[in-house]
Structure 1
Amino acid sequence: MFFKARRAAMAGLSRETVGDAQVALVDLQDAGQAGLVALKAWEGVAGIPVICLFDRKNRRELIQAGALGKFEALDRSEPVAVLLTRIRALTGNDICKALPPGLSRQTTEAYRKSNAFLESLTLSAIEGADIEVNLMSESAAEMLTALSLDGLSVWLNAVHTHHSGTYCHSLMVAGLAGMFARHLGWPEEACLEMIAGGLVHDIGKTRIPLAILDKPGKLTEKEREIINRHPDIGRVILKPRHELSVAIKKMAVQHHEYLDGSGYPDGLTGERISQDVRLMTICDIFAALTERRAYKDGAPPRVAVSIMKQMGPKLDQDMLSQFARMVLEDRFCAVKRSAKSAR
C-alpha cells in the first residue's frame, strides 16, 4: 500500500522481471540456494539498490546476510517505518508526482497530508501504535478546504492517480462524505468528522492479504468471505483506541450494515444505524460502483445512483435522494473514473 510494488521469485531474476523497478527488497527467510546464487549476480541483472531482510537471531540468515555484504541488510524485527523511510530515501518517491497537471496548491497539499495520514494509519494498525489524531484532524481540515475551493470532481480526479486501490477508495469516500455532509448543511465539525471517518473506515483491510485486495480479477467466494471480515477486523483494531471518537469507530465497523438487517457484521436494523453511518454507507457504495476494476468498467454516476435506488429498504432513500442531487450535477459527472481496484 505504501509503494507501487510487484513480487518476483529470487531464482527467476532477469532484466525482464526487474523492469523499471527502483529498489529491490529481498526476504532471506527460507531462501533457497538457487535464489541466493541469482541474488549474488544481481549487479549483472540490474543496477538498482537491494535491501535484504534477515533475522539477526537466525544463524543461517545472519551468515547469508554477511555473505551478501555489498547489499544493505535490515533486521526483520525493526519497525516497518524504518524500512519505509529507507525505501523512500532510495527512490525519492513523491506521491504527488502522478497528480494531474495544474492542480491547485490547496488540493495538492490536502492530497499529500491525507496520504501521509493513511500511511500512518496503516503503520498504526501493523504496529499497534496510537493513531495520529492530530494528523487526522489536519488532513480532514485540509480536505474540506480543498473541496470547498476546488470542488469534489477535482478532488476525485486527483485521488484516482494513487497506485493503491485501497488508498484511492478511502480518499474518495472521505471526499464524498465530507462534501455530502456539507451539502446537507451539517455543521463544520460534523463535516470534518465524516472526512476523518472516511479515511479510517477501511482500516480492517490493513490485515487482509494484498494478494486478495489487489487481485486482478473477480474474487472467489472464499476470497469474498475474507474481504467481508474487514469490519470485524476494524472493530478489533479500533476497540482499544481511546483517541478516536465512538462515531468514527462505528463508521469503520458498521458501514456495510443495511437498514433492513441484511448487512454485516452484526445485522443491525433501522434506528440502530446512525445518520453518520447511513451517510458513510451511501458514499462507500457509490465509490465502489463508480471505480473501475480489472474485470469490469466503473458505472457512470447516474447508473450507480440508479442501482442504489433499486436497493430500496437497505439504504436511507431520503438521504440517497439528496446524495443524487449532489453527484448528478454536470460538473461532478466530468470525473475521470479510476482504473484502480478497490474492494
Structure 2
Amino acid sequence: MLKRIPTEQVELGMYLQSMEGSWLSHPFWKTKFVLREPADLAALKKSGVPAVWIDVSKGHDVAGAVAPAAVAAAQPAEAAPVVVPEPTSPPLPPPSSPVSSPPAQARVSLSAEIEQATQLMNRSREQVMALFGEARMGKSVSAEQCLPLVEEIANSVSRNPSALISLARLKTKDDYTYMHSVAVCALMVSLGRQLGMNEDQMREAGMAGLLHDIGKMAMPLDILNKAGQLTDAEFNVIRSHPVRGYQILRDSEGVSDAALDVCLHHHEKMDGTGYPKRLKGEQISLLARMGAVCDVYDAITSTRPYKTAWDPAGSIQRMAQWTGQFDPVVFKAFVMCVGIYPVGSLVKLESGRLAVVVDLNQQNLAAPVVRVFYSTRSKLPVSVLTLDLSDPGAGDRIVSRESPQDWGFTHLDEIWRKS
C-alpha cells in the first residue's frame, strides 16, 4: 500500500517507491528500494525533495501510523504496473540500487585526452564509413570486426568521456550518419559506466550504440540527405530505419540480441508514443532506454542537412522538459555523464564575464572548469583565463547559460579544444 509522506518523516527501513520534486534534486539513480544506509537517509533529507511515496507493504510505516487501509494514498500514475511482454532477448541486469557513484577509475584531464581522441575520431570515421558502406551494398555486417573500435572508444571514455563525446559532436552534415554512430557508442559506454554496469556490459552497450542506426543505410540517399523538411511520405520511409536495421543485423554475423534490441527500439518513448512498436515504460529494455537518450542528445547537438546544432547546455535543458519521452532515472544518469553544462557550453559568470566549459567536475556539476574570454560589461574580449569553478579561490560562479548565436560567437570550439 502506497503512502505519501514529507521527506523529514522518512526513516531507515522504509521502502521508497518514488520521489517528488525536480529530478536533478534526487540523490539516487533509481527509486523502489528499501532505505537501509544512514548516509542515504542523510542525503535524501538534504536533497530538497519535498515528499516521497513509500510502500508500507514492503517496508516500515511512519511511527505511530494507523492501519494502512485507513490512510492509503492513491498510487501515482508513474508507479502503475506495466504489463511486460515476454522478452525476445535477455536484458542486461539493472544497476544495483541505489547507485551513489560510478566505478572508480583513473581519469585524465580533457586537454590530456584530446589529442588521442582526435586521432581516434579520424580512425573511427574511416572504419564506420567502410562498415556502413558494406551494409548499403547489401552485405552482412561482422560484429567481430567492430570489437577493436568499440574497445578503443571505451578506453578513451574511461580516461575522459568528455573528450571523445565533445569532439564527435563537431561532425559535419556530410559525415553525420557515420560519426553519429561513433558518438552514440561513446555516450552509451559512458552512460553504462554511470549506471554501474561492468566492463562487458559497457562494451555491449557501446556495440549497440555503434550499430543502432545501420538501418539508415537502407534509406534512399535523396531522403536521408534532404536539406529541407521531409514530407509525410518521406518521414514514413525514414521511420522504417529501425526495422530495416534490425533485418540487416539479424542476418549478420555475431550481432548480439542486445544490439538487435537497441537497433529496433531506440525510437520508443516511455509514454508509448514512439515507434516502431509503441512500447511503453518497462516494456522497453534498459539498453533501448539508454539508446533513446544518447541518440537524441547527439542528434540535436549536431549540425544536420536540415538544421543547425543546438548548444549542449540548452539541449540538456530542453530534453529535461520533454515529459514522457525518456526514462527519468536513465536521463538523470546521462546528465551526470555529460554535465548540466557540457563541454563546449557558453556560460555567463557572476563577474559578468563569458566563458566556455572545458571540463567537468564530477563532484560538482554546477561548477565545471571554464575558459573565460569575454566581458559583457566592456563588450570586449579579455585575456583567456582557465578557472576551476569548484576551487573556492576561483571567486566566480555560473549564473546562466547563454546562446552562442545570440552573441554571434562562432569560434567556441577553438577555445575549448585548445590545450
TM bucket normalised to smaller = 0.5 to 0.7
SS of the aligned residue for 2:226 comes to: coil
Aligned Cα RMSD in Å? Answer: 2.6
Name the residue aligned to 2:309. 298
Moved more, 109-118 or 229-238: 109-118
Residue 67 of structure 2 corresponds to which residue in structure 1?
none
In structure 1, the residue matched to 2:270 is 259
Whole-Å separation in 2 of the counterparts to 1:201 and 1:213: 16
In structure 2, what is the equivalent of residue 249 of structure 1?
A: 260
Matched AA of 1:148: S
Tell me which protein shows more helix as a share of its residues.
1
How far apart are residue 264 of structure 1 and its match? Answer: 0.5
Deviation at 1:140, TM superposition (A): 0.5
Q: In the aligned structure 2, how far is the partner of 1:261 from the partner of 1:161?
A: 31
Shift of 1:113: 4.2
Distance 1:112 1:176, change over 3 A: same
Counterpart Cα distance in 2 of 1:322 and 1:104: 24
Q: Would you say the 8 A contact 1:231–1:253 is kept in 2?
A: yes
Q: Pick closer, same or farther for the CA change 1:159–1:271 going to 2, 3 Å.
A: closer
Which residue in the other structure is 2:121 paired with? 111
Deviations 1:302-331 (A, max 9, x none): 322222222222310121112123222556
Structure 2-normalised TM-score? 0.52
Match of 2:330 in 1: 319
SS in 2 for 1:235: helix
State the number of aligned residues: 237
Matched, 1:149 2:159: yes
Mapped contact 1:234–1:253 kept (Cα < 8 A): yes
Of 313, 316, 319, the residue aligned with 1:308 is 319
Q: How far apart are the structure 2 equivalents of 1:159 and 1:138?
A: 22
Asked if structure 1 preserves the Cα contact closer than 8 Å seen for 2:226 and 2:306, the reply is no
Deviation per CA, 1:250-280: give whole Å up to 9, x if none. Answer: 1111100112211101111222211111001
Give the Cα–Cα distance (whole angstroms) in 1 for the partners of residues 219 and 278 of structure 2: 22
Contact 2:316 2:335 in 1 (8 A): yes
The 1:111/1:159 distance shift into structure 2, 3 A limit, reads: farther
Residue 200 of structure 2 corresponds to residue 226 of structure 1:
no
Gaps of 5+ in 1: 1-100, 338-343
SS at match of 1:313: coil
C-alpha deviation, 1:129, in angstroms: 3.5
Residues of 2 paired with 1:247 and 1:188: CA distance?
A: 15
Name the residue aligned to 1:73. Answer: none
Q: Which residue of 2 aligns with 1:126?
A: 136
Contact 2:313–2:342 (8 Å) recurs in 1? no
Q: TM-score, normalised by structure 1?
A: 0.62
Q: Is the 8 A contact 1:144 1:178 kept in 2?
A: yes
| Percent of aligned pairs with the same amino acid | 30
Q: Equivalents in 2 of 1:135, 1:108: separation in Å? A: 21
Structure 1 residue 105, shift from structure 2 partner: 5.9
Report the more deviating stretch, 305-314 or 176-185: 305-314
